[in-house]
Amino acid sequence: MLVRQVRNGVTESVHRGDIVEVDVTGRMLHVLGDPDRVVFLRSTVKPLGLVALLRAGGRTEFDLTAEELAVMASSHSGEDLHVRTIQAMYRRIGISQAMLTCGTEGMPLDAVTAARLARDGERPGPLRHMCSGQHSAFILLAKLGGWEPETYWQAEHPAQAAYRETVGDLFGVASERLVTGIDGCGLLTYAFPLREVARAYATLADPESIPSGDKRAPLAHHLLAVRDAMTAYPELVGGNRDRLDTSLMKAAPGSLVSKGGMEALRGVGILSGARGAGSPASGLALKIEDGDGHERGTWAASVEALRQVGVLEGQALRVLARYHRPPDLDPHGRVGGEAVASFDLAPVGELTG
């Protein structure tokens, strides 16, 4: 059990899950639950898969900015800054947003933007979809390769094959052996043990730690470009209101890179020096078992886990208070209940010693 939903001292419900932290070699540092639980990456793949475009030469060919990299690694809220960033890229490169196949259902995520669009009688277009940045990376891959762009979303498309190869290379699995499923936006998603998700995020946190003889070594500078874009422009990775990935990176600048995925998965790369001078990089992955439709369990557990491993403290925790103990407010603004993280993330040495 990771999180309890408490109302006036009574536990109404609980969120169970698994957490694991590993170093860049994959050695477990902290664990609670099952580190080998198999999870679909969903949107946590986006910063990793974006490397496919960069290794193909896309950053140079299309003169991509750090802001554009950040939004292509995002699950954005569909605010105007996200739309403008993608539109500017499309105009410069000569792409039509009509190519996007991510749909518009339930978008934009940002409630303020959604209310404004409804008030003005404007229907949200596909650029408002949280996955339009990722889909854009596939369209650019297709343009770069001279492939048919309209079918970029189909599993047999060469852009999909290039993406699969990159994901496989980063996880050390041959692309034809990847376990796949269909994500909510129509693209393929990939399944791995939770500890491997943590290791991938440790690598994203410190790409320069990849040994020179490792097959991933040629991808290190691309991972670094993605990481630095995300940490420089966190509001493009999520949004300006109630997006934990954005808030984490803003509360602890230069300390972590965070990306969540549907069904309550989150990957966090903890950068070198985040826990004091000389502290090594690591990766933390967290999964809430019930999918956490309200996000309260994921929020509370993520912040508490990062507190317990020594990344968040003091002012950062105060800034993140609404995520650490998400309140359930009544119509008068009174706190009726709150999500309370209830676990001890013990070092692996203490568990096995």
Rounded to an integer, the average pLDDT of 245-257 is 98
Number of H helices, E strands in the chain: 16, 12
Q: What is the pLDDT of residue 168?
A: 98
Residue 351: the pLDDT is: 59
Q: Above 50 in pLDDT, residue 353?
A: no
State the pLDDT at residue 346. 85
Query: Can you read off the two tokens belonging to residue 12?
Result: 């109404």
Mean pLDDT score, 45-72: 98
As to burial, measured by CB atoms within 10 angstroms (0-12 exposed, 13-18 middle, 19+ buried), residue 72 is buried
Tell me what percent of the residues of the chain surpass a pLDDT of 90: 97
Residue 342's pLDDT band (cuts 50, 70, 90): very high
Residue range 146-154: mean pLDDT, rounded: 97
- How many CA atoms, within 13 angstroms, populate the side-chain half-sphere of residue 144? 22
Give tens-digit pLDDT for 79-96.
Answer: 999 999 999 999 999 999
Q: Which strands form 28-32's sheet, in the order they lie side by side? A: 28-32, 17-23, 282-288, 265-270, 256-261
Peptide bond preceding 108 in cis form (omega within 30 of 0): yes
pLDDT of 120: 96
- Give pLDDT tens digits for 121-135: 999 999 999 999 999
Beta carbons of 258 and 267 less than 8 angstroms apart: yes
Does the structure show a pLDDT above 70 at 244? Answer: yes
DSSP 79-120: -HHHHHHHHHHHHHHT--GGG--S--TT--S-HHHHHHHHHT
| pLDDT of 59 over the 70 cut | yes
Confidence at 57, pLDDT banded by 50, 70, 90: very high
Q: What is the CATH number of domain 3-352?
A: 3.40.710
Indicate the domain borders of the chain: 3-352
pLDDT tens readout for residues 269-292 = 999 999 999 999 999 999 999 998
Average pLDDT, the chain: 96
**Residue pLDDT, tens place only, 172-189:** 999 999 999 999 999 999
- Per-residue pLDDT, 220: 98
